[in-house]
Amino acid sequence: MARMAPIAIAGLMVVALAMDDAAAQTQRVVPPSRAAVQWSYAPIVQKVAPAVVNVYASRTEKLARNPLFDDPFFQQFFGRDFGGQGRERVQKSLGSGVIVDPSGLIVTNQHVIEGMTQVKVALADKREFEAEILLRDPRSDLAVLRLKGTTEHFPVLPFGDSDTLQVGDLVLALGDPFGVGQTVTQGIVSALARTQVDASDYQFFIQTDASINPGNSGGALVDLDGRLEGINTAIYSRSGGSVGIGFAIPVNMVKIVVESAKIGAKSVRRPWLGAKLQTVTAEIAESLGLPRPTGALVASLTEGGPAAEAGIKRGDVILSIDGQAVDDPDGFGFRFATHSLGQNASVMVRRGSADLSLPIKLRTAPETPPRDIQKIEGLNPLAGVTVENLSPAVAEELSLEAAAGVVIAEVDDGSTAGRAGFQKGDILVEVNGAKISASRDVQHALSDKTRIWKIVINRGGQLIPAVFQG
């Protein structure tokens, strides 16, 4: 996850001084002797450790009160206060974070603070601060916090450029594994652009053999110049401990999320392609004259979307974006999402036997129709869900292929709908025979007093009917 930068190690200073600045930044050097392997990473750790923090998140939830406590039969013997007001349970989460702005902005994983309401941050010098959650971005599994009650300038980790990493580069991982305190491990970048991790919507991870364990989530992966190259987020393990395969979110995605938080956005605005992509098979590659299965095949287009406006056609294979090669749809998704809005990108496509360079506008997906968010309540199977109209923007946020209808955007924990099996991303099709085409239709369809509910949803393209009895 980081480059091997000899200028950061004292023993290589003589080599570095002999080179010009540009060469010093790009040269990678193998340790010249057994003695060289004994050189220390301590100067780098001392430089970066103050910017790596521990993140403690929690929430307090009330447990359901036993209905027997409200039974008049028991209350006549034990009083109305029998059973108290219900017990409380505190849910806790522990992870790591990285200070990325002197004002006290911190990046961590979304899964570290998911569902939590109170967040504390412990610095490397043992001081603790309350923190507010500025931005949650479930799609990238990143979140941005801000330390409360301080005007101090904090040490930060400067951003690197994850696109310059190479397999074999030396890296350090810093975090708080198992809650034992700040820990540093060392390894190499063992793979790049990993797409089978299933830890976020953007499958494009840096893989490292630096030891990463539970509690390291949200911590720093740094290069030997002390620059942030990734946020440690997941491990491959059958036992729960490190087996030498860890994954980090590339810093080029982190930059986009941090910039959104700095301007006060509550969600990350990303470019919209307006097309569905699929993997290029060996047969497709052969038919197009490609030397190997690579790129992203355009399977369908949204009318009026940026891809269609750029002249991209169904059956085209996207080979690169702004000169960066695309190996598969996940790779394109990451490259495209890390581009800035308001500009154009150059997309190279293979069409037949010809390669075409097409300019595509980098703009967000439209919110048409408006969301019209509705919270469903009452005595019905959908009580506890939040529904909204499905637009291209909402479909992008929820990673859905459909771009019309009414979608379940949230399901409250412990709600009737949650117990009934409804999930975030389900598209409501019918309620008791009534077609659902707008979010306001849902509550209206549920207003009939009935003991039988017939609800049809679309989940992942499959229609699922269900019957509930009240």
Residues 181-218: tens digit of each pLDDT: 888 999 999 988 766 666 566 677 899 988 888 888 89
Our CA angle for 438, 138, 147, nearest 5°, is 120
pLDDT of 12: 29
The full set of domain ranges for the chain reads 1-268, 275-361, 374-469
pLDDT of 75: 55
CA distances from 294 to 111, 192, 307 (A): 32, 16, 19
Domain 1-268 shares a fold with domain 374-469: no
Q: What is the mean pLDDT of each run of 10 residues along the chain (470 residues)?
A: 30 36 60 75 91 85 52 54 55 85 95 87 92 92 93 94 91 86 89 68 82 87 94 73 80 93 89 92 89 92 92 95 91 90 93 92 92 91 93 86 84 89 93 91 84 89 86
362 closest CA partner among 347, 348, 374: 347
* CATH code for residues 374-469: 2.30.42.10
* Residue position matching structure tokens 């005007």: 151
Residues 6+ apart with CB under 8 A from 434: 441, 444, 445
* CATH code for residues 275-361: 2.30.42.10
Query: What pTM did the predictor assign?
Result: 0.76
171 closest CA partner among 199, 145, 141, 192: 192
Joined tokens for residue 357: 């360079």
Residues 417-452: tens digit of each pLDDT: 999 999 999 999 999 889 999 999 998 888 877 778
Which residues carry out catalysis?
111, 141, 217
CATH domain 1-268 topology: Thrombin, subunit H (2.40.10)
Half-sphere exposure of 217 (CA within 13 A, CB side): 24
